[in-house]
Structure 1
């Protein structure tokens, strides 16, 4: 089951590549009206400000870099970025969008990824929620290995909030880690989606060795800033 779901996730994000930004920028099926959209972007700004407080950084590793929404934020603080994703389609969009000589891209499945370097700062957004529980500790252990001593980790992910998804998706808080997602053309995929509470996420990060501080915005986002000592 896990193998099939992970294969579907990669297929889903490859197929979704050209419409992924609609979700973040609240366009099309994700437009929830002016008031709700405003709440979304206000909370995005809170998380962006927290990320910028990390300050100027030499070497950054971005896991599951996607279409570049957060890669462009990392360019504001990082001199060199290694951006990894399993989908060639999203990497292509990211590369064309940012066109930066300071970014090196790698097409790698993060479940088979093996860290081969240490970085000053490791970042990933809206990815941890897609890691099956049985693979979480081993994945975070690899993340820990990729951060140098004294280096930082920053994670952004979703809170459970029905208005965060498309208006033709009904988000059930039924305890299931599997969610069905539909694309604009009607294609459907099953993916893993886990919504973490702050104390739970902090516990997972501390278990592999990080010192972590976990916060939430009012409705939409959970984010963590961690250090390797």
Structure 2
């Protein structure tokens, strides 16, 4: 059954609040996400490729991280950013992020990304594993806000998932629901319905060009798609 965008956003926020304490298990291949040595090594090798691409941006002053989560990529941004503003809709993930990094270079804001409006411009706007969760009817308005938050000559960097079944939990259902939706299960068995859209490189390229950025979209062999873009006007 189709769900309203408002209900979907509410459920997604609740899902990531409830998942906050176990989110890192996905990234670090623990528990239900442990796929064995060979696949785990493949995963981390591809993570390293994306991390290297992010570091190639070099040093920047002001960074905005949208949907900052538990700090996995905030930690990477600390290597290149003098100041980071991290926004997330989950107070639980913000607390984990803050306790993990304990850095005075990071300022946190608890806010629904869809309700966020840019109040200033940044040298770099970054979001990871977020664009795939933006419902199609909110995509253009979100990218417009990203454009407004990026200074002229500034950059964006986005990371997201490719549709490889071994990137997900071993008990994750392979069946998609209602096109853009997926059912996601927590360790305790609770299930939530979320939006999950897997973009192809040409689709992502067109999205950023239409939003006012020039850019370069790349993929790793199995798991990740990532884009670096520039705002020229």
Contact 2:177–2:183 (Cα < 8 Å) also in 1? no
Q: 1:205 aligns with which of 201, 205, 208?
A: 208
- 1:16 corresponding residue in structure 2: 19
Which runs of 5 or more residues in structure 1 are unaligned?
Answer: none
- 2:126 corresponding residue in structure 1: 123
**Under a length normalisation based on structure 2, what TM-score does the superposition of the two structures give?**
0.97
Which runs of 5 or more residues in structure 2 are unaligned?
Answer: none
User: Alpha-carbon deviations, 1:76-133, whole Å to 9, x = none?
Assistant: 0001000000000000000000000010000111111100010000100000000001
Q: 1:191 aligns with which of 194, 201, 205?
A: 194
TM superposition shift of 1:170: 2.3
- Aligned pairs for 1:99-138 (under 5 A) are 99-138=102-141
User: Where has structure 1 moved over 6 Å in runs of 4 or more?
Assistant: none
Aligned residues: 229
What is the alpha-carbon root mean square deviation over aligned residues? 0.9
- Aligned pairs for 1:1-229 (under 5 A) are 1-172=4-175, 176-229=179-232
Contact 2:183–2:192 (Cα < 8 Å) also in 1? yes
Cα distance in 1, alignment partners of residues 138 and 104 from structure 2 = 33
Aligned to 1:196, the other structure's residue is in SS state: coil
User: Alpha-carbon deviations, 1:138-191, whole Å to 9, x = none?
Assistant: 100100100000000000000000001000002336771000000001111000
TM superposition shift of 1:212: 1.2
Cα distance in 2, alignment partners of residues 48 and 172 from structure 1 = 30
Contact 1:165–1:171 (Cα < 8 Å) also in 2? no
Contact 1:65–1:84 (Cα < 8 Å) also in 2? yes
Contact 1:62–1:123 (Cα < 8 Å) also in 2? yes
**Under a length normalisation based on structure 1, what TM-score does the superposition of the two structures give?**
0.98
